[in-house]
């Protein structure tokens, strides 16, 4: 009986997944017709994939944070900080030092954040808001120094930007996804981190060193935020300083992707669902742009609605708070 019930549930899940896929494909065809074939043109698909790469890496970082039972919104400011560092290091020392330095900075900030949570016992979301202002202030101070010298915010030189251009950005995307998939699903670190984030007491009884597992989770999330900073700087060539917690706005797309991935994880692996989520969100805004809807209040309002809707989908049949 149990085997039949499991088989029936699996069949039902696959049927739902196929139905969702058919709906998505039908929607894409209709939207492509509405946009006169522009949406699914090869050039536009390349643009959408490139635009989705940075949010995908940030969403992967958020996935590791949430797996550790941590809600921290400082990654937006952290990515701006690592992107700025990438520009400085890239121009001064070259691409390899830029990659190493930015990733180490991201991991260092991740370690700092998690150490603050564990040592001070401050709720992560409160500590995260404080660190957001710290990271914004660092970039803001550097920008003011540059402005006093009559210079713009650091601009990465063109010959150093190939990691954010085609096909380099696709390679960076694949490397990031493969690394996240292996770390999350097939390493002791990923298993211990998720176990500790789910229930620290049970994890401790199982012999897991909880603090170590969670801090390592912070390092991994910091890795992806540093990695995202490299791609962001290489893609845009420069990143403007933010202040007054305005960097939080850069986390909304990745958060929406994480929430959608949470809902899709009933059918596919959560890490695999992340790029699907970010691509669909980027696609929605690309359609609006193709239809002549200007970016600004309307698109930001829509993004807010998307976050709420995906949050509801992720929360469905879950007791407690979405992680």
* CATH number of the domain enclosing 95: 1.10.3470
Q: Give me the number of domains the chain comprises.
A: 1
CA distances from 225 to 39, 137, 244, 316 (A): 29, 18, 20, 29
Instruction: Assign 244 to helix, strand or coil.
Output: coil
Residue 150 within any structural domain of the chain: yes
**E strand spans, the chain:** none
Residue 240: other Cβ atoms inside 10 A: 12
Which residues make Cβ contacts (< 8 Å) with residue 107, sequence separation at least 6?
Answer: 219, 222, 223, 226
Tens of pLDDT, residues 219-230: 999 999 999 999
Write the DSSP assignment of 209-262 as a string of letters.
Answer: -HHHHHHHHHHHHHHHHHHHHHHHHHHHS------TTGGGGGGHHHHHHHHHHH
Tens of pLDDT, residues 118-150: 888 889 989 999 999 999 999 999 999 988 888
Residue 3 within any structural domain of the chain: no
Residue 16 within any structural domain of the chain: no
- Residue 43: half-sphere exposure toward Cβ, Cα within 13 Å: 2
Does the structure show a pLDDT above 80 at 115?
yes
Look up the domain containing 272 and give its range: 35-315
Tens of pLDDT, residues 193-238: 999 888 888 888 888 898 889 999 999 999 999 999 999 999 999 8
Does the structure show a pLDDT above 80 at 320?
no
Residue 206 within any structural domain of the chain: yes
Residue 112 within any structural domain of the chain: yes
Does the structure show a pLDDT above 60 at 274?
yes
CA angle, residues 195, 198, 202, in degrees to nearest 5: 65
Does the structure show a pLDDT above 50 at 323?
no
Residue with tokens 């805004």: 285
Instruction: Assign 274 to helix, strand or coil.
Output: helix
Residue 131 within any structural domain of the chain: yes
CA distances from 117 to 126, 191, 203, 258 (A): 9, 21, 18, 22
Residue with tokens 């190493």: 100
Residue 122 within any structural domain of the chain: yes
Q: How far apart are CA 71 and CA 116, in angstroms?
A: 13
At residue 152, the pLDDT reads 75
Does the structure show a pLDDT above 50 at 322?
no
Residue 2 within any structural domain of the chain: no
């Amino acid at each position: 009986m149990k085997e039949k019930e499991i088989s029936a549930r699996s069949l039902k899940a696959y049927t739902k997944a196929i139905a969702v896929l058919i709906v998505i494909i039908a929607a894409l065809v209709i939207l492509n017709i509405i946009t006169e074939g522009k949406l699914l043109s090869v050039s536009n698909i390349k643009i959408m994939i490139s635009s989705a790469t940075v949010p995908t890496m940030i969403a992967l970082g958020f996935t590791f944070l949430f797996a550790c039972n941590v809600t921290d919104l400082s990654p937006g400011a952290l990515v701006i900080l690592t992107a700025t560092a990438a520009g400085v290091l890239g121009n001064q020392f070259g691409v390899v030092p830029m990659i190493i330095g930015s990733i180490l900075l991201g991991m260092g900030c991740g370690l700092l954040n998690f150490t603050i949570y564990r040592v001070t016992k401050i709720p992560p979301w409160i500590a995260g808001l404080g660190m957001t202002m710290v990271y914004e202030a660092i970039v803001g101070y550097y920008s003011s120094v540059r402005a006093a010298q009559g210079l713009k915010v650091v601009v990465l030189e063109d010959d150093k930007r190939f990691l954010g251009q085609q096909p380099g950005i696709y390679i960076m995307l694949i490397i990031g996804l493969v690394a996240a998939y292996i770390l999350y699903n097939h390493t002791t670190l990923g298993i211990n981190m998720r176990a500790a984030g789910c229930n620290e007491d049970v994890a401790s009884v199982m012999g897991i060193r909880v603090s170590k597992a969670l801090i390592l989770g912070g390092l991994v999330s910091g890795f992806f935020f540093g990695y995202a900073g490299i791609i962001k700087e290489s893609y845009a060539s420069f990143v403007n300083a933010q202040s007054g917690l305005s960097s939080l706005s850069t986390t909304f797309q990745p958060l929406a992707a994480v929430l959608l991935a949470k809902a899709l994880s009933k059918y596919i692996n959560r890490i695999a669902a992340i790029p699907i989520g970010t691509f669909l969100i980027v696609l929605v805004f690309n359609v609006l742009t193709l239809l002549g809807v200007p970016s600004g209040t309307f698109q930001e309002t829509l993004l807010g609605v998307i976050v709420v809707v995906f949050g509801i989908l992720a929360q469905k049949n879950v007791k407690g708070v979405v992680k």
